[in-house]
Amino acid sequence: MKLDCWRTEPHVPLRCLRHSFLQTFLICLLLVPGLLECKQVMADQPIVLRLPMPTAGPNSLDPVRGSSQYDNIACGYVYESLLEYEYLKRPFELKPCLLESMPEVSEDGKTFRFKLREDIYFHDDPCFPDGKGRRLVTDDVFYSLKRMADNGNQPKAWWLMKDTIVGFDDYREQQNAAEDFDYDAPVEGMVKISDYEFEIVLAQPFYRFIYTLAMFQTAVLPHEAVDYYKEKFSKHPVGTGPFLMQRWDFGAKLVFVRNPSYRTMLYPADPGLNKDGSAPYTGYKEDVELGFYKDAGKRLPLADKVILTMFAENQPMWLKFLNRELDYSRVPAENFPQAFIKRRQKLRQSFKDMGIRAVPLPLLDFIYNGFNMEDPVFGGYDDKSKWLRQAISLTYDLEEINQAHYQGINLIYDGPIPNGMDGHPEGHQVANNYRGPNIPRAKKLLAKAGYPDGKGLPELVFYTSRQPASVEMAMMSKRNMAKIGVKMDVRSVDFATLSENLRKKTCPFFGLAWGSDYPDAENNLQLFYGPFKSPMSNNFNYDRAEYNELYEKVRVMQPSPERSAMYAKMRDMIIEDVPVIGAMARTRFYLIHSRLKNFKPEETFSNWPKYLTVQEP
Amino acid sequence: MFAYIIRKLVYNIPVYLAIVLLVMILLRQRDPVAGLLGKNADAKDYAAKKQELGLNRPFLIQYGDLLRSIFTFQFDEESWTQPGVTVGEKLVEAVPRSLALTVPALVLTSLISIVVAMISAFNRGRFLDKLLVFLAVLGMSISFLVYIIFGQYFGAYQLSQWLGRPVFSIHGYEPGLVNWAYYMLLPVLISVIVSMGYDTRFYRAVMVEETQRDYITTARAKGATRGKVMFVHMLRNAMIPIITRIMITLPFLVTGSILLEQFFGIPGMGYVLLSAIRNNDFPVVETFTAVFAGLFILSIIATDILYALFDPRVRLQ
Amino acid sequence: MSMTDRFFKTREFRKLFRNKSAVIAMLVIAAYLFTALFVMCGGITRETCDTVVGQNKMPGFFIQQTPEQRYENATSKFLPMVQRALSRADQTAALADVRLGQERVVNKSAAQLQAIIDRAIELKNELNQSEDLDADSARLPQLKALEDQVAMLKAPLTGWSRLMQNASLVLGTDAQGRSIFLRGLYSIKIAIQIGLVTAAFCVLLGALLGAAAGYFGGWVDHGIVWVYTTFSSIPNLVLLVVLSYAFTDSEVKDTLLPVYIAFGATFWIGTCRVIRGETLKLKRMEYIQAAQTAGFSPFYILVRHVIPNTAHLMLINFSLLLIGAIKSEVILSFLGFGVKGQPSWGIMIRDAGNNGDVVSGFFWEIGTATALMFALVLAFNILSDALQDAFDPKHV
């Protein structure tokens, strides 16, 4: 910097100053676009997907340690499970992935017989001799399942396997107690027939088991990788999937590249219309119109590289999408009115002109506020405590919350079963509901419960997340509750604190959400099963003998009208007892740039990246 | 001089020991293990976990352990949120990123604001001075958040839309010098604009005070040129507050600008620390905090040494 | 005390009042203080700030709303509220319960109300056939009719309530339909409170400790440096998070006490360091050494000579800390560790950021918070500059 200009006259320095800014500005203008140009030239040839991940991202790529939807997405690139979902078909349909064919189920529904494909090789990786991936065999499947039981792996998904496979629970107890976890010790219910054939025997014919096999937690991985990388394994995923992980900047970026040795998997063929001219599945015509079958028969994965960027904040993701630096984006609720005409939920013309396509995706969400049924005041099963909870439920104005925080696009429904599943009430509403706001009725019930105008009632302590929106929602509810004289004390805590308090059963009232793992209501109904009380998944500590009995029956039933009736009965029991106030389900809106092909958004499963490709218009 | 440095170092060791102790006590006000295990753990798992992590050992032993790892640079404790990655690896990864953001920002800010402050002080009371002070004050009167929110929106998004191609990154980070301008320049500029108001004001106050000292008048009377007075006499005497100010900000070079890193998705120290706090990643929080404190102490020692260099009288103390 | 004496010397005061910008700044600050006092006396309560006064995200004065927005405003909030109340068994009570800010249901029979609503729904359905109202000017008369129907549901406002309703809508509403204007005003109190308390406390503490450390040296110096080194060597954020953890279950969690403690524990350090450095320098000055030789007590010298000679630094620091406190509050609130359960500029800016206001071009909330904060900070800066000019003993 030319500081000596002081010497001549005092007013020159401003020019110095301008120089420094000019220099900075020149750096911006010259350096940056130049760099970008090189980048664009380089990126010309291979097909690169640039996808967002709306969170700080996964913490680990070890499937047994994963639990969130984001773990699921990330693991979906590198790992595969025995089964997967058909990409385009709706309603969901399972199909074999690592298997030759769908498993054969015995008459009593307890024994599953599997036949593995023989052309499946693990990723080429230094953990194998010569760095060449080995063929996948039966032992790998058993090994991977057993990893879910090994406490040394900090597994998060044991609940999927608990009480399911014959002898597996005992095996877990024994091995965790022993000095070393012995993966070679036998489990009664896992029977090896040959390297490519095996059987799994269940204790009871659980209907959900087949879905479990499509979940990413049951992905099959080689023991060599775990032995080789040891505690670093979660950073060096080795699976059978369509992509290899190339780079991982924790909390920022994940880069995957095509797995060159991926088995021959082809893009699904166009099933064509049924003979009677009807569509083979829901949404088929739209798929054809969108050209989803243009790539039929091509070898998967279609893309060479996927750059997955994590966004802890919504706004940067949204801006980057608008700037065409991302191929698609979810629409953050707060930006909904910017992109859509709210009245009709239709994309604005300016967005259509940019070649953007909008896809609404109703989620299998259960957003609720739950009571601790063991709380001395607000819990309990006698009439008075029931009336108290019903009164509180009647103060809730979910529509107000929906309008203020979700742009009115959420679905509000009664009971714990999300829309589209067996047991969801028709019209999203049951006759005997306690849906608010109905202040006069709430007041009456409160008086009946022995607390006229809230007199004598202690403060209701409500735990919610630190998210500003959650706090604001809680404040709305607090305001509404004050109308009948119930006082609420809102505690916004981080998720760890909330979990800790749930585990200790010290949250009288709390706000949480559950996203279904598989499209069956059993997944939500188990949240109220007595034996699953805290510290397991039943956060409400709801425990009613009739309910538990019903649950034990339905979980071993195949879909049938009988089962539907039982689901409805369980649902109504929950609605009447009000261990939970709710519920809401979000509709996620996806915006997709025209260059991204074959994208049909889905959040329940995540094997879709291999079908995607980009094509600049 | 050497003896002075040694004396300073020795003197600061007990200070640091106390800091580490304080950090550990503060962080143990809540049970980290309960948060780690989540709601699906029972008492047995809990005890086992505590045992495994060594958190049930006597406090003093844990204290000694942490100290040992700091003084031997062996940060091989595993992160809780990111299994398989040690705290040391996280440090090594995060520190350069923060530095790439904060060092240019500090250098630019200091240079620009000292120059502006000198211009201002020398023209004290004139229109230029008033204008500069007014601008500085204007700049300071707006929240950091507003700068970031608007900076990101206009600087990264609108500019790109307007020029038809990306100029600055809206969010994200790539290592490497070639990528620096794309990812870092905008946050650096925002940071400079934000801190300029504060620094200019401060330096101007210091300079104004110096211009009124007798020695300046004497020097001018003796016929020293304006430039000489400014740079030789005044700047040297104004150095103590200037260095103090710069030194105070040095440790923050490492923690980085948390908000900027958060908004622009740059995984530096601040970003890592904040997400560790949010995710209850106890070893990361503890180590990052302790390392930060260590760096801070080193910077204080450096301040003292620089003091002594510029003002030899201090050394005699 | 000497400092107070000096402040009351009329020559300086005359000089201060000659400075026009200082006078303006003082008037602005006085207005803020008055507002803060008004709020503190119950002029605007937390409940008032939380009350929904209108449709979500309504812009303030001057803005011509697009037909789509007008449709949205007409059909949300009041219309469904009345509709819902009418469908209840206890209509009268439910209708009396309907309120949107100062707006109430007009005093008409249920049948009349129902007729108005039926007509409104009819219009709504007609309008709904339009693809895009913004591009469909033929529908505008229908839209107007719909708005009129909704207006017919509302009881006419008079006098005070009309004034209140207009005032609360003057700067529009936030994403929940709460008045931005009232929330902004309430935040003045929070800002003034946090700023004054923190700055006063920290400057006094920092100056006293800094001067003592610099002047006495030895163990006093070591002790004070040890304390501030310890406090400042823990990252601010960690200290704040730990404190907010510690207060999670206590009675003060909804008050400003955690913020005070967090700021109080960290903000004095800067002042302390600067004053200590200055004192070290002053100590070498002839007049201090003369005073020492003359046998004055160290305490006297400290109070009479050292501290007054650092007054200009204290002033600068006071203004810096005041601004610093207000702005740190913004950042803390943004991260979720600051003010809770009541509005503050920080929370308003955060909400605006979270609600995508900037991206969608809705600047009312962030603009109001920024403008109010900006004016206050600016005024304080100008005033402290003017004070420095006027009261600096070395500058005539």
Tens of pLDDT along C243-295?
Answer: 665 665 555 556 778 788 878 888 888 889 888 988 888 888 888 888 888 88
| Model pLDDT, residue B204 | 86
In this structure, the answer to whether residues A124 and A256 fall within a common structural domain is no
Let me know whether B50 and B97 are in one domain.
no
Q: Is the pLDDT of residue A296 over 60?
A: yes
Structure confidence at residue A201 (pLDDT): 95
Q: Could B230 and A13 be called an inter-chain contact, meaning their C-beta atoms sit closer than 8 Å?
A: no
Would you call B166 an interface residue with chain A, using a CB distance cutoff of 8 Å? yes
B312, pLDDT greater than 80 = no
In a domain, A245, yes or no: yes
Question: Could you tell me which chain C residue has the CA closest to the CA of B23?
Answer: C234
Residues A408 and A471 in one domain: yes
Name the residue facing C354 among A334, A399, A437 (closest C-beta).
A334
Residues A302/A242, Cβ–Cβ less than 8 Å = no
Peptide bond before residue A437 is cis, with ω within 30 degrees of 0: yes
CATH of the domain at A116: 3.90.76.10
Write down the pLDDT at residue B269: 82
One-letter amino acid of A167: G
Q: Among the ranges A38-47, A202-211, B272-281, C91-100, which has the highest mean pLDDT value? A: A202-211
Please name the chains neighbouring A, where neighbouring means 3+ C-beta pairs under 8 angstroms: B, C
pLDDT tens profile C321-331: 887 788 788 77
Contact with chain C for residue A255, Cβ under 8 A = no
CATH number at residue A503: 3.10.105.10
If you count residue pairs, one on A and one on B, with CB atoms under 8 Å apart, how many are there? 176
Mean pLDDT confidence for C79-96: 79
Residue A37 class from Cβ within 10 Å (0-12 exposed, 13-18 middle, 19+ buried)?
Answer: exposed
C356 touches A: beta carbon within 8 Å = yes
The 3-state DSSP class for residue A509 equals strand
Q: Which of residues 52-111 of C touch B (CB under 8 A)?
A: none
Question: In chain A, pLDDT over 70 holds for what percent of residues?
Answer: 92
Task: Tell which wins on pLDDT, B46 or A539.
Answer: A539
Q: How far is residue A600's CA from residue A598's CA, in Å, rounded to a whole number?
A: 6
What are the residues whose beta carbons fall under 8 Å from the beta carbon of A603, sequence distance 6 or more? Answer: A69, A361, A363, A515, A588
- Residue B278 distance to chain A (closest CA, Å): 7
A439-448 and A383-395 helices, crossing angle to 10°: 160
Q: Which amino acid is at A488?
A: M
DSSP type of residue A533: B
pLDDT tens digits along A101-142: 999 999 888 999 999 999 999 999 999 988 899 999 999 999
Are C318 and C377 spatial neighbours (Cβ–Cβ below 8 Å)? no
Q: Which of B97, B100, B53 is nearest to B286 (CA)?
A: B53
Instruction: Please report whether residue B316 resides in a domain.
Output: no
Q: Is C316 on the interface with B (CB under 8 A)?
A: yes
Indicate the residue of A318, A468, A493 with minimum beta-carbon distance to C350.
Answer: A468
C175–A contact, CB cutoff 8 A: yes
What per-residue confidence (pLDDT) applies to A39? 44
The answer as to whether B76 is a domain residue is: yes
Place of tokens 């320049």: B185
B317 in a structural domain: no
Question: Based on the domain organization, do B216 and B141 belong to the same domain?
Answer: yes
A316 lies in some domain? yes
DSSP character at residue A238 = -
Listed in sequence order, the residues at least 6 apart from C246 whose beta carbon sits closer than 8 Å to its beta carbon are B29
Which domain CATH number covers A324?
3.40.190.10
Of B71, B87, B103, the last residue of a domain is B87
Last-in-domain residue among A187, A221, A255: A221
SS3 A124: coil
**CB interface of B with A, residues 259-278, below 8 Å:** 262-267, 271-272, 275, 278
Q: How far apart are the first and last CA of chain A?
A: 48
Q: Tell me the three state secondary structure of residue A267.
A: coil
Instruction: Identify the weakest region by mean pLDDT among B48-52, C198-202, C217-221.
Output: B48-52
Task: State the average pLDDT for chain C.
Answer: 81
- Cis before A126 (ω within 30): no
Q: How far is A574 from chain C (nearest CA, A)?
A: 25
Least confident among A203-207, B245-249, C340-344 = B245-249
Contact B178/A at CB under 8 A: yes
Are residue B72 and residue B141 in the same domain, yes or no?
Answer: no
pLDDT at B256: 58
Tell me how many domains chain A contains. 3
How far is the C-alpha of A27 from the C-alpha of B165, rounded, in Å?
16
Best of C47, C76, C132, C332 to substitute, by most chain A Cβ atoms within 10 angstroms, is C132
Asked if pLDDT for residue A539 goes beyond 80, the answer is yes
- Same domain? For A166 and A210 the reply is yes
Rounded to 5°, the CA angle A528-A532-A538 comes to 45
Measured between alpha carbons, how far is C97 from A484 in angstroms, rounded to an integer? Answer: 12
Alpha-carbon distances, residue C67 vs B32, C78, C130 (angstroms): 54, 18, 11
**Between A225 and B157, the higher pLDDT residue:** A225
- pTM for the complete prediction? 0.80
Q: Is A293 within the bounds of a domain?
A: no
Q: What is the pLDDT of residues C128-150, one digit of tens each?
A: 888 778 888 888 888 899 889 88
Of A276 and C357, the structure prediction assigns the larger pLDDT to A276
Are C325 and C169 within 8 A, CB to CB?
A: no
Tokens of C28: 């602005």
| Nearest residue, CB atoms, A1 vs list B38, B111, B166 | B111
- Regarding whether A475 and A447 lie in a shared domain, the answer is yes
Integer Cα distance of C70 and C59 in angstroms = 11
Task: Tell whether B93 and B182 lie within a shared domain.
Answer: yes
Instruction: Let me know whether A369 and A380 are in one domain.
Output: yes
* CATH number of the domain encompassing residue B241: 1.10.3720.10
Please choose, from the candidates B255, B258, B252, the residue with its C-alpha nearest in 3D space to the C-alpha of residue B299: B252
Neighbouring residues of C206: CB distance < 8 A, sequence distance ≥ 6: C267, C268, C269, C270, C271, C272, C275, C317
Segments forming the whole domain that contains residue A194: 81-221
DSSP string, C21-45: HHHHHHHHHHHHHHHHHHHHTTSS-
Query: Which one, of C233, C113, C103, C209, lies nearest residue C161 by Cα?
Result: C103
pLDDT score for A307: 93
Whether residue B270 is contained in a domain is answered as yes
Let me know whether A315 and A429 are in one domain. Answer: no
- Residues B265 and B206 placed together within one structural domain of the fold: yes
Cα–Cα–Cα angle for A266, A267, A270, rounded to 5 degrees: 125
Domain assignment of residue B95, given as a range = 88-310
Q: Based on the fold, state whether residues B9 and B34 are members of the same structural domain.
A: yes
For the CA atoms of A490, A496, A497, A502, the dihedral, rounded to the nearest 10 degrees, stands at 90
**What does residue B117 show for φ and ψ, rounded to 5 degrees?**
-60, -40
Q: How far is C275 from chain B (nearest CA, A)?
A: 10
Chain A hits for C128, Cβ within 8 Å: 343-344
The owner of tokens 């992935």 is A97
Strands A197-201 and A190-192: antiparallel
Number of domains in chain B: 2
Does A179 reach chain B within 8 Å, measured CB to CB?
A: no
Residue B94 lies in a domain: yes
Min Cα separation C257/chain B (Å) = 18
Q: Which of B87, B106, B139 is the last residue of a domain?
A: B87
Residues B122 and B75 in one domain: no
Tokens at residue C276, please? 């200590």
Rounded to 5°, angle at Cα B59 from B56 and B63 = 120
Task: Find residues 23-52 of chain A whose CB sits inside 8 Å of chain C.
Answer: none
Spell out the residues 6+ positions from residue A65 whose beta carbon is closer than 8 angstroms to its own. Answer: A59, A71, A153, A154, A155, A156, A234, B83
On whether any CB of chain B is under 8 Å from the CB of C378, the answer is: yes
Helix (H) or strand (E) holding B196: helix B180-211
Q: Is residue A15 part of a domain?
A: no
Nearest to C217 among B255, B289, B317 (CB): B317
Whole-Å CA distances, A273 to A266, A283, A293, A295: 20, 12, 13, 18
A561: confidence class by pLDDT, cuts 50, 70, 90? very high
Query: Could you write out the DSSP letters of every residue in A282-329?
Result: TTHHHHHHTTTTTTTTPBSP--SEEEEEE-SSHHHHHHHHHTTSSSEE
Residue at which a domain ends, from B47, B68, B87 = B87
Tokens of B79: 């992160």
Q: How confident is the model at residue A612 (pLDDT cuts 50, 70, 90)?
A: very high
User: Which is nearest to A181 in space by CA: A193, A169, A191, A173?
Assistant: A173
Strands A509-515 and A340-341: unpaired
A513 vs chain B: nearest CA distance in angstroms?
15
- What does the pLDDT read at residue A226? 92
Confidence of residue A405 (pLDDT cuts 50, 70, 90): confident
The answer on pLDDT for A234 being more than 80 is yes
Rg over alpha carbons for chain B, rounded to the nearest Å, is: 24
Least confident of A24-33, A203-212, B151-160, C76-85: A24-33
pLDDT of residue C131: 79
Is B287 found in the same domain as B220? yes
pLDDT greater at residue A530 or residue B313: A530
Per-residue pLDDT, A490:
85
Mean pLDDT lowest among A62-66, A337-341, B169-173, C110-114: B169-173
Q: Does A441 share its domain with A462?
A: yes
Question: Is the residue at B80 inside a domain?
Answer: yes
3-state SS class at B166: coil
Half-sphere exposure of A530 (CA within 13 A, CB side): 10
For the cut 60, the answer to whether the pLDDT of residue A363 exceeds it is: yes
B102 and B20 housed in the same domain: no
* A567 shares a domain with A423: yes
Is the pLDDT at C313 greater than 80? The verdict is no
Backbone angles phi, psi at B111, to 5 degrees: -60, -55
Model confidence at A498: pLDDT above 90: no
Nearest CB to C226; choose among B15, B140, B240: B15
**Whether residue B243 sits in one domain with residue B95:** yes
- The single residue listed with the structure tokens 């025209």 is A594
pLDDT tens, A145-204?
999 998 888 787 888 888 899 999 999 999 988 888 899 999 999 999 999 999 999 999
**B121, B102: one domain:** yes
Segment holding B291, helix H or strand E: helix B282-310
Q: Does C136 touch chain A (CB under 8 A)?
A: no
pLDDT band at A5 (very low <50, low <70, confident <90, very high): very low
For the segment B145-169, the average pLDDT, to the nearest whole number, is 84
b/e map C85-119, b = 16+ CB within 10 Å? bbebeeeeebbebbebbbbbbbeeeeeebbebbee
Q: Residue A15's pLDDT is what? A: 33
Confidence of residue A92 (pLDDT cuts 50, 70, 90): confident
Which chain B residues are Cβ-neighbours of A494 within 8 angstroms? Answer: 278, 280
Looking at the fold, whether A468 and A376 belong to one and the same domain comes out as yes
Classify residue B49: in a domain, yes or no: yes
Distance of CA C339 to the CA centre of its chain: 10
Identify which of B137, B248, B293 has the shortest CB distance to residue C378: B137
Task: Say yes or no: A60 and A98 in one domain.
Answer: no
Q: How far is B67 from chain A (nearest CA, A)?
A: 24
Q: Mark whether B115 and B64 lie in a shared domain.
A: no
Give the pLDDT confidence of A415-440 residue by residue, as tens digits.
999 988 888 998 899 988 898 788 88
Give the pairing of strands A460-465 and A488-493: parallel
A179 with A192, same domain: the answer is yes
- Alpha-carbon radius of gyration of chain A: 27
Q: Give one DSSP letter per residue of A52-75, joined into a string.
A: EESSS--S---GGG--SHHHHHHH
- Any idea what DSSP says for residue C100? E
What pLDDT score was predicted for residue A76?
Answer: 92
**Averaged pLDDT for residues C77-96:** 79
Interface residue B161 vs chain A (CB under 8 A):
yes
Distance separating alpha carbons of residues A411 and A402, to the nearest angstrom: 8
Query: What pLDDT band is residue C99 in, cutting at 50, 70 and 90?
Result: confident
At which of A164, A189, A221 does a domain end?
A: A221
Q: Which residue has the tokens 């103390």?
A: B317
User: Does one domain contain both A115 and A252?
Assistant: no
ipTM exceeding the 0.90 mark: no
* Per-residue pLDDT tens digits for C23-38: 899 899 899 999 999 9
The pair of three-digit structure tokens given for residue B296, joined into one six-digit string: 């801070």
Evaluated on CA atoms A511, A517, A523, A529, the torsion sign reads: negative
Per the domain annotation, does B315 fall within a domain?
A: no
The reported pLDDT for the residue numbered A33 is 42
Task: Output the six-digit token pair for C334.
Answer: 């943004």
Structural contact between residues A524 and A542, judged by C-beta atoms closer than 8 angstroms:
no
The pLDDT tens digits of the residues spanning A456-481 come to 899 999 998 776 678 778 888 888 89
Q: What crossing angle do the helices spanning C140-153 and C67-75 adopt, rounded to 10°?
A: 30
State the virtual CA torsion across A135, A136, A137, A141 in degrees, nearest 10. 160
